[in-house]
Amino acid sequence: MAKILIKGGRVISPAQQLDDTCDILIENGKISAIGKKLDSKGAEVIDAADKVVTPGLVDIHVHLRDPGFEYKEDIASGTLAAVTGGFTSVACMPNTNPVNDNQAVTSFILKKAAEDGHCRIFPIASITKGLEGESLTEMGELKELGVYAVSDDGKPVSNPQLMRRAMEYARPFGMTIISHAEDLDLVGSGVMNDGPVATELGLKGIPWVAEDAATAREVMLAEFTGAHLHVAHVSTKGSIDIVRQAKKRGVAVTCEAAPHHFTLTDDAVRGYNTNAKMNPPLRSEEDREAVRQGIADGTVDAIATDHAPHHIDEKNVEFAIAMNGIVGLETALPLTLKLVEEGLIDLPKAIALLTNGPADVLDLPVGQLEEGGDADVTVIDPDFEWTVETQKLVSKSKNTPFGDWQMKGAAVCTIVAGKIAYKRG
């Protein structure tokens, strides 16, 4: 296997509290040395002067759509989008067809990942069989295959007793329960955030309380059971505060924020833009600011994309019936770096939210740079300016609200297990 020397970059690995200009030598898929002026003999040299070198980025919330919805995305295209965006590990959600609720589907995903994947894949299985909210999956069996977490993402577990049992079941296996926290009765027939924009557009609103009430329930159940709860895509001021307060009480709760929720508001829906439709929806400026404050003060543990590819025919329809979700793998890094540019967080913190932060949430064995460890490395040009050309996105689906946006920052080289999986240009 090729020997690679990444030379003279600003190496940031928050897990090691490393932030220094140095070289990284990669041999046989592992990091063999991190240090100054390492010997480049026999190595392919990647000049990282003026670049930032980080652990491979980790996204714990991705829909790869495989098996069953390969017309939207598949393991090959989704992981190619991932490495293009700088990600070397993705955790994929179970709302496939069939649903990933048993060992057979998990094994299929792992086998296809090994054959076609461009990066590491950690399958998330469902909490309930068929995502039907009625009976629990065999979490112990799933854990045996290396499933770190379970989630009915996209479909909340409505029955609190079932969620309680799920937490009690997951806990001894050390598995995380990822909650899509929405109260469906409160969501009702809403299709966007409840507020002046919805009124103006004549669209039915989803009130913040639909998310806050569900988040509060999940946090209380986690407090009651002692299980580790991870709240996905937190989008409201109230939810952020509920998680913040719960952490202060010592509840085992973590949460993630999606780039669209800290970048956009429901203003983006104007014009009935279905590429600004997702679940939970884009919220008010006050909510967006609260998510940003949650990122700044450590309430938010990870940035995760909720990469949700949909075919153009599923988006090019009346707003109310358009599918929920947007692609995010190729735009997450510059949108996160924007938080640094705006002075909200510093660069090491931004990198932490994309590396050891998400890895720690699910206890994944990735997200750091250490001698002897797996060589998953991302080389970032923080100053690279580019325009999002929707049709050129690597993902099979093009449903992004960031088309034509000017971005700053991109992965220039993504290395997975010591192999170059992506190189810009």
Cα–Cα separations (whole angstroms), residue 242 to 100, 214, 238, 254: 30, 10, 6, 11
Shorter beta-carbon distance to ligand DOR: residue 194 or 374: 194
By the rule CB under 6 A, 95 interacts with ligand DOR: yes
By the rule CB under 6 A, 237 interacts with ligand DOR: no
By the rule CB under 6 A, 63 interacts with ligand DOR: yes
By the rule CB under 6 A, 153 interacts with ligand DOR: yes
Shorter beta-carbon distance to ligand DOR: residue 197 or 308: 308
Which residue bears the tokens 């540019």? 341
Please, what is the minimum distance in Å from the beta carbon of residue 95 to ligand DOR? 5
Could you give the dihedral angle defined by the CA atoms of residues 358, 82, 109 and 177, in that order, rounded to the nearest 10 degrees? 20
Select the residue interacting with ligand DOR from 85, 86, 325, 334 (CB under 6 A): 325
Q: How far apart are CA 339 and CA 138, in angstroms?
A: 40
Q: What are phi and psi of 301, to 5 degrees?
A: -90, -25
Please, what is the minimum distance in Å from the beta carbon of residue 169 to ligand DOR? 22
Select the residue interacting with ligand DOR from 225, 279, 395, 414 (CB under 6 A): 279
Please, what is the minimum distance in Å from the beta carbon of residue 227 to ligand DOR? 21
Residue of minimal CB distance from ligand DOR?
Answer: 325
By the rule CB under 6 A, 260 interacts with ligand DOR: no
Q: How far apart are CA 334 and CA 411, in angstroms?
A: 9
Shorter beta-carbon distance to ligand DOR: residue 29 or 68: 68
Please, what is the minimum distance in Å from the beta carbon of residue 61 to ligand DOR? 9
> Cβ–Cβ contacts within 10 Å for residue 128, how many?
21
Which residues are within 8 A (CB) of 87 and not within 5 positions of it... i.e. 6 or more apart?
A: 56, 57, 58, 59, 119, 329, 332, 378, 414
Shorter beta-carbon distance to ligand DOR: residue 151 or 356: 151
Which residue bears the tokens 């140095």? 22
By the rule CB under 6 A, 261 interacts with ligand DOR: no
Query: Hey, which residues between 183 and 222 contact ligand DOR (CB under 6 A)?
Result: none
Q: In 3D, which of 226, 231, 205 has the Cα closest to residue 216?
A: 231
By the rule CB under 6 A, 278 interacts with ligand DOR: yes
Shorter beta-carbon distance to ligand DOR: residue 120 or 261: 261
By the rule CB under 6 A, 378 interacts with ligand DOR: no
Q: How far apart are CA 302 and CA 312, in angstroms?
A: 29
Tokens of 237: 């001021």
Please, what is the minimum distance in Å from the beta carbon of residue 154 to ligand DOR? 3
Select the residue interacting with ligand DOR from 7, 143, 164, 180 (CB under 6 A): 180
Which residues are within 8 A (CB) of 139 and not within 5 positions of it... i.e. 6 or more apart?
A: 125, 147, 150, 169, 170, 173, 175
Instruction: Report DSSP letters for 359-380, one per residue.
Output: HHHHT-S-S---TTSB--EEEE
Helix, coil or strand: residue 412: strand
By the rule CB under 6 A, 158 interacts with ligand DOR: no
Q: By the 8 A CB rule, do 242 and 299 touch?
A: no
Shorter beta-carbon distance to ligand DOR: residue 92 or 369: 92
By the rule CB under 6 A, 324 interacts with ligand DOR: yes
Tokens of 386: 């580019």
Please, what is the minimum distance in Å from the beta carbon of residue 49 to ligand DOR? 40
Q: How many CA atoms lie within 13 A of 160 on its CB side?
A: 13
By the rule CB under 6 A, 333 interacts with ligand DOR: no
Pick the catalytic residue from 66, 152, 306, 374.
306
Q: How far apart are CA 1 and CA 23, in angstroms?
A: 19
Indicate if 297 belongs to the active site: no
Q: By the 8 A CB rule, do 155 and 181 touch?
A: no
Shorter beta-carbon distance to ligand DOR: residue 95 or 274: 95
Shorter beta-carbon distance to ligand DOR: residue 90 or 340: 90
Select the residue interacting with ligand DOR from 14, 78, 94, 154 (CB under 6 A): 154
- Within 199-339, strands assigned E span 205-206, 229-231, 253-257, 302-303
Select the residue interacting with ligand DOR from 187, 290, 308, 359 (CB under 6 A): 308
Q: With contacts defined by CB under 6 A, how many residues of the chain interact with ligand DOR?
A: 11
Please, what is the minimum distance in Å from the beta carbon of residue 287 to ligand DOR? 16
Q: How far apart are CA 18 and CA 382, in angstroms?
A: 18
Q: In 3D, which of 72, 121, 59 has the Cα closest to residue 324?
A: 72
Provide the annotated active-site residues: 306
Point out which residues bind ligand DOR (CB under 6 A).
63, 95, 153-154, 180, 278-279, 306, 308, 324-325
